[in-house]
Amino acid sequence: MGQTSGHQERSKKPEVAPSEVMEAEIEVQNNKEETKEVKAKNQKLTSVFGLADLKNEAIGLYNLGQSCCLNSLLQVFLMNIHFTRILRRITVPSSPAQRRSNVPYQMLLLLEKMQCGKRKAVGPTELACCLSEHRVELFVQHDAAQLFLTLWNLLKKQMKKPELVKELRDLYMICIQEHVACQKCSFEVKSKSTMLTLPLPVLDANSHRLKTLEDCLQYFFHPEELTGQNMCFCQQCGRKTTFLQSMKLVHLPQTLTLHLKRFCFERSSRTHKLSHSLPFPQELDLRQVLTESQCQADDSEKATWQYELFAVVAHSGSASCGHYCAYIRSLTDCKWYCFNDSEVCQVSWDDVKCTYGRSNLYWRETAYLLFYMKKHPQQPQPGVSECL
């Protein structure tokens, strides 16, 4: 097809086979339809996510193959009204390739899929493929604390609007001040830093079990003496001396994330899970837990340190294999739900308390990440954002 016959003069224009013409026309038409679809979807996002904050429905996520950890964390993000209010104001990437690799946008589309229709569960396939482009492995068992940090960093990095990045930091980032003081002289170093989670040990230095979440918090902020191999060089003394290291709490975000360090390394370099019981409260007042010496904040800041439990990411199984699920309190109906991949059901507080742990049941569910929400949010104070 497309060839001349006899002595007919060849056209100076390059010939194109009819099939190629048809394919080109089809491609142009598809591009037009894709452009219309994208524009329509982008226009729809504003209206859909204006209502998403009010619906806040419990929709499951299908397991794509060891994606229970990702599913649990996505549910915690997307059930947080304060987070979705930030998410629905992102800048939509201009090109299809940019949209495919943009984590905030793909998370936004997943939320749209969860909010539209009456499906009991949806698949996070596009978001998972997007994460794989950022070297987040699929079909492997993840650590929830590490994956939470990875997701948060990708969200912060790809949100182009500075005001949204600031809101995201205000929503999750913790500010602390570290003090390191020489015990031989008056030399002292102070430095501020931020943390996404407070990594709370569940054992003390002598491997004794800490009994409650409040004990873990107090132990985390308890001063530690740096001796022996841990001694530091003192500029004033001119040699290594014993130092006292302590941390003081400066600022707490609206969503406070506590990481219970239930996985520890044994001498054999094997990771071991600590499953003993560790109760945590529904209401947490940091003013009642920490002492004055453990805080570096004024009264107006500390007045907002009253929290209610919002979500629990729990792990069942051993350190080498297991399963994650999330218990989340809806911010609209104040009821607790268990998100176990595609299965979602309403539960009671007694069901949530079952994640306290129990030593004699090795495979029992144990809380791993705790998310607390401020009862009385406060507007950012001047100077606070500098340390964030």
Full 3-state SS string of 327-349: EEECCCCCCEEEEECCEEEEECH
The answer to whether residue 145 is domain-embedded is yes
Question: How many structural domains comprise the chain?
Answer: 1
The answer to whether residue 291 is domain-embedded is no
Whether residue 384 contacts residue 251, with contact meaning beta carbons closer than 8 Å, is answered with yes
The alpha-helical segments, DSSP class H, found in the chain are 18-55, 68-78, 81-87, 96-100, 103-115, 125-133, 144-158, 162-172, 213-220, 286-289, 299-302, 349-353
d(C-alpha 20, C-alpha 379), whole Å? 61
Q: Mind telling me the catalytic residues?
A: 68, 323
pLDDT in the model for residue 182 = 87
d(C-alpha 93, C-alpha 160), whole Å? 10
User: Tell me, what CATH number does 158's domain have?
Assistant: 3.90.70.10
Q: pLDDT tens, 201-221?
A: 999 988 899 999 999 999 999
Query: The domain containing residue 48 runs over which residues?
Result: 35-172
The answer to whether residue 362 is domain-embedded is no
The answer to whether residue 163 is domain-embedded is yes
> Which tokens go with 128?
């998972």
The answer to whether residue 274 is domain-embedded is no
d(C-alpha 388, C-alpha 383), whole Å? 9
Question: Can you name the residues that pair with 369 across neighbouring β-strands?
Answer: 259, 313
Q: Which residues of the chain have pLDDT under 50?
A: 1-28, 30-31, 33-35, 37-55, 380-388
pLDDT in the model for residue 35 = 47
What 8-state DSSP symbol labels residue 203?
B
Give residue 22's identity as a one-letter amino acid code: M
pLDDT in the model for residue 230 = 82
Give the CA-trace dihedral at 298, 226, 257, 343, to 10 degrees: -170
The answer to whether residue 197 is domain-embedded is no
Q: pLDDT tens, 142-152?
A: 999 999 999 99
Q: How far is CA 9 from CA 3, 6, 134, in A?
A: 11, 9, 56
